Chain A
Amino acid sequence: MARTRRRIPWSDAGFRAATGLAAFLVVGIAVVIGLELFRNSRVPIHEFGWKFWTNKDWDPVNGEFGAYTFIWGTLYSSLIALLLGAPVALGIAIFIVEVGPLRLRRGLGFLTDLLAAVPSIVYGLWGIFVLVPLVRKVETAIAGSRLSNLPIFSGPPYGIGMLAAGIILAIMIVPYISSVAREVLRAVPQSQREAAYALGATKWETIRIVVRYGRSGILGAVFLGLGRALGETMAVTMVIGNSPQISASLFAPQYTMAAVIANEFTEATGDLYLQSLIEIGLVLFAITLAINVLSRFLIWSVSRERRPRPRATPARLPEPA
């Protein structure tokens, strides 16, 4: 019998090696990121040590660099984003999974997820030209009222500043928190709802039971949103004012870690300046890493609790004899 075509030798060892290489690459990238950040921030680490994190000054002219201002700005803006965005996201999740009319559910889910598809730069563009003027109007109104005596409402109503940044971040993290929260609520076993109904619970009392059951997953979803807010660059830098000052006021222009890197990286002169920015990147990386790991753990713990994960394939493929 003649061979009709050349047979390609398929060796399993080669297969494992090739895919293993790709897998190794993924790990390698993650490791390289950490190493590169460290390697390129040696100068300020050496120069400032731990004081880098507590130093409130950012003075490129005099070679004085400290990350405190930016850590403050990042945390403050993210906190506002969470306070505004998390309840809205949870409300949407509950509406879609438990309350809303069936026909609307899919469409609403799609629309909410559409928010996540909008690029950050577009949010920023809209932020500068639409949101900021609106915020300025609101701030002016507040500034004219008795509320301006409170420290969080002090200062001139620029429009650009912490409030605008917080609002835009809130809008951006809603789809992330909401989509995970929806999955968590769907994963709550129906038997919990039935148990509540059978005891005479109303729809809302039952929803409370469901939310309570999925609480760690929902917390994980919120942390995921937090992680996203911490690292967001473009939209924030376009509306926050990029001013390295620490202020409790929502009206004040401030600065975040991601924003300062984006703005000053290409202008940075000298190793100390550039590497200080890179060290800020290192701090940002470490914080978001920790938050993301925590969030995944929380989300994973809900689905583990009740049902074993359904598997379409067995854990181990039988080795060919």
Chain B
Amino acid sequence: MTPTELEAPGVTVREPEPRSEDAAVRMETRNLDFFYEHVQALHGVSLAIAENSVTALIGPSGCGKSTFLRCLNRMNDIIPGTRVVGDVLLDDIDIYKGDVDVVDLRRRVGMVFQKSNPFPKSIFENVAYGLKINRTVRRSQMAERVEKSLREAALWDEVKDRLDDPAMGLSGGQQQRLCIARALAIDPEVLLMDEPASALDPIATQKVEELIYHLKTSYTIVIVTHNMQQAARVSDRTAFFMMGRLVEYDRTDKMFTNPGEKITEDYITGRFG
């Protein structure tokens, strides 16, 4: 019996699916261990994320999928007492290496949160915030970039006449799309989304899902979701996590019709979690 089988009987960790020849890898983790003080939250996770695709991370509550996501843009750094062992690579460069600029990393790997968190500013200022602090764009081009991002987030038509209105006045679904626009404005290469639609009603959810589907042509997207149907709808590849381990990682259509692991099948069909 392997050590993992001793700790979690019935769970065997597979080698990641060999990447198909035409999909380049944007981000990759190799044997990633993660610790909150003395508690180990991730065990030896090795995952390769393909460019211009949507990768869904699924699994029961507490399985480590959000923790894993937050490792990709080093958001866990702001929590005291955390430790990372292993490699996390963006374009083959280890992002946890000493000389990596975290601020620049977070511009390249953007994040959208579960509950929308617009700043108490106007709609325009929210989207422009990232541009202002990163000083990537001249003031004259700011309005153009804001419009482009709002269009990409499918929000432009709804807000174009009230860009100076407070962002807090938008509906929940609109606020979330605003946060997506805000994240897109700084032109990230990878977009991380932590249960982006879980706080939204079905219609707003549908809009966000359509958005994700369209965005993948230009961005690499990693999305955490507890909603299996959503994963099946929007993603190209799915990774199933359990108890801090990557159990299975495969193309979505294959995962949901013919999963390799019994335990994956149990989760997907709703027998637990």
Chain A residues with a Cβ under 8 A of chain B: 102, 189, 191-202, 205, 209, 212-213
**Which of B73, B104, B121 is the one whose CB lies under 8 Å from A198?**
B73
Cβ–Cβ < 8 Å partners of B107 in chain A? 199-200
Which residues of B, 79-126, contact A by the 8 Å Cβ criterion?
80, 103-107, 110-111, 113, 115, 117-121
Q: A193-B78, A205-B133 are in contact. Are A198 and B119 (CB under 8 A)?
A: no
Query: Which A residues lie within 8 Å of B115 (CB)?
Result: 191
Complex-state Cα separation, A197 to B130, whole angstroms: 10
A192 touching B103 by the CB < 8 A rule? Answer: no
Q: A257 → chain B, closest Cβ, in Å?
A: 38
Q: Specify which chain A residues have a CB less than 8 angstroms from the CB of B80 in the assembled complex.
A: 102
Residues of A within 8 A of B121 (CB): 212
- Cα-based distance from A192 to B2 in the complex (angstroms): 44
C-alpha gap A53/B104 in the complex (Å): 60
- B247 touches A (CB below 8 Å): no
Bound-complex Cα distance A197 to B182 (A): 13
Q: A194-B75, A199-B129 are contacts. A189–B110 as well, Cβ < 8 Å?
A: no
Taking A195-B179, A205-B133 as contacts, is the C-beta distance between A200 and B117 under 8 angstroms?
no
Can you name 27 A-B residue pairings with CB atoms under 8 Å?
A102-B80, A192-B117, A192-B119, A194-B113, A195-B113, A197-B75, A197-B78, A197-B106, A198-B73, A198-B75, A198-B183, A199-B106, A199-B110, A199-B130, A199-B133, A199-B134, A199-B186, A200-B103, A200-B105, A200-B106, A200-B107, A200-B133, A200-B134, A202-B103, A202-B133, A205-B133, A213-B119
CB distance from A217 to the nearest CB of B (A): 12
Partner of B119, one of A195, A197, A200: A195
- Contacting A at CB under 8 A, from B154-208, are 179, 182-183, 186
Taking a contact as CB atoms closer than 8 A, the residue among A191, A198, A209, A212 that contacts B110 in the complex is A198
Q: A202-B103, A213-B119 are in contact. List 6 more A-B contacts (CB 8 A).
A: A189-B117, A198-B111, A198-B113, A200-B105, A209-B119, A213-B120
Q: Kindly list chain A residues whose C-beta atoms are within 8 Å of the C-beta of B134.
A: 199-200
Q: For A197, what are the chain B residues with a Cβ–Cβ distance below 8 Å?
A: 75, 78, 106
Contact B183 A199 (CB under 8 A): yes
Enumerate the 3 nearest inter-chain pairs by beta-carbon distance, A residue then B residue, closest first. Answer: A198-B111, A200-B107, A191-B117
Report the count of interface residues on B (CB-CB < 8 A): 26
Q: A189 contacts which chain B residues (CB < 8 A)? A: 117
Report A-chain residues with C-beta under 8 Å of the C-beta of B119. Answer: 192, 195-196, 209, 212-213
With a cutoff of 8 Å between Cβ atoms, the chain B residues found around residue A200 in the complex are 103-107, 130, 133-134, 186
Q: How far is A201 from B107 in the complex, measured between Cα atoms in Å?
A: 9
A193 to B117, CA, bound (A): 9
Whole-angstrom distance from the CB of A221 to the nearest CB of chain B? 18
- When distances are taken between beta carbons in the complex, the residues of chain A under 8 Å from B117 are 189, 191-192, 194-195
Chain A interface mostly helix, strand, loop or mixed? Answer: helix
Q: Which residues of B contact A192 (CB under 8 A)?
A: 117, 119
The one of A193, A201, A213 that contacts B103, using a Cβ cutoff of 8 Å:
A201
Q: Which residues of B contact A (CB under 8 A)?
A: 73, 75, 78, 80, 103-107, 110-111, 113, 115, 117-121, 129-130, 133-134, 179, 182-183, 186
Give the docked Cα–Cα distance between A198 and B108 (Å).
10
A198: B residues at CB distance < 8 A: 73, 75, 106, 110-111, 113, 183
A196 to B132, CA, bound (A): 12
Q: Taking the nearest CB of chain A, how far is it from the CB of B108, in angstroms?
A: 8
The CA-CA distance from A189 to B116 in the complex, in Å, is: 12
Query: If the complex has contacts A199-B130, A199-B133, are A212 and B120 also in contact, measured as CB distance less than 8 A?
Result: yes
Q: How far is the CA of A205 from the CA of B133 in the complex (A)?
A: 8
- List, in ascending order, chain A residues with CB within 8 A of B183's CB: 198-199
**Alpha-carbon gap, A193 to B106, bound state (A):** 14
Assembled-state Cα–Cα distance A205/B134 (Å): 11
Complex Cα gap A291–B120 (Å): 26
User: Are A199 and B182 in touch, CB under 8 angstroms?
Assistant: yes
Q: Which residues of A contact B75 (CB under 8 A)?
A: 194, 197-198
Q: Which residue in chain B gives the minimum CB-CB distance to A205?
A: B133
Nearest-neighbour CB distance to chain B for A141, whole angstroms, equals: 43
Instruction: Report B-chain residues with C-beta under 8 Å of the C-beta of A102.
Output: 80
Q: Find chain B residues with CB under 8 A from A193 CB.
A: 78
Cα-based distance from A194 to B75 in the complex (angstroms): 8
Query: Which single residue of chain A is at the shortest CB-CB distance from B132?
Result: A205
A195: B residues at CB distance < 8 A: 113, 117-119, 179, 182
Most buried by A among B120, B179, B183, B186: B120
Across-interface contacts of B130 in A (CB, < 8 A): 199-200
Min C-beta distance of B65 to chain A, whole Å: 17
CA distance A200 to B183 in the complex (A): 10
Q: How far is the CB of B175 from chain A (nearest CB, A)?
A: 11
B103 CB contacts on chain A under 8 angstroms: 200-202
Q: How far is the CA of A193 from the CA of B111 in the complex (A)?
A: 13
B14 to chain A, nearest CB (A): 31
CB distance from B18 to the nearest CB of A (A): 32
Q: Chain B's nearest CB lies how many Å from the CB of A168?
A: 36
* A199-B130 Cα distance, complex, nearest whole Å: 6
Residues of B within 8 A of A209 (CB): 119
Alpha-carbon distance A205/B121, docked complex (angstroms): 15
Closest chain B residue to A208, Cβ basis: B133
CB-defined contacts of A191 to chain B, threshold 8 Å: 113, 115, 117
Which residue of B is nearest A214, CB measured?
B120
**CA of A212 to CA of B117 in the docked complex: distance in angstroms?**
14
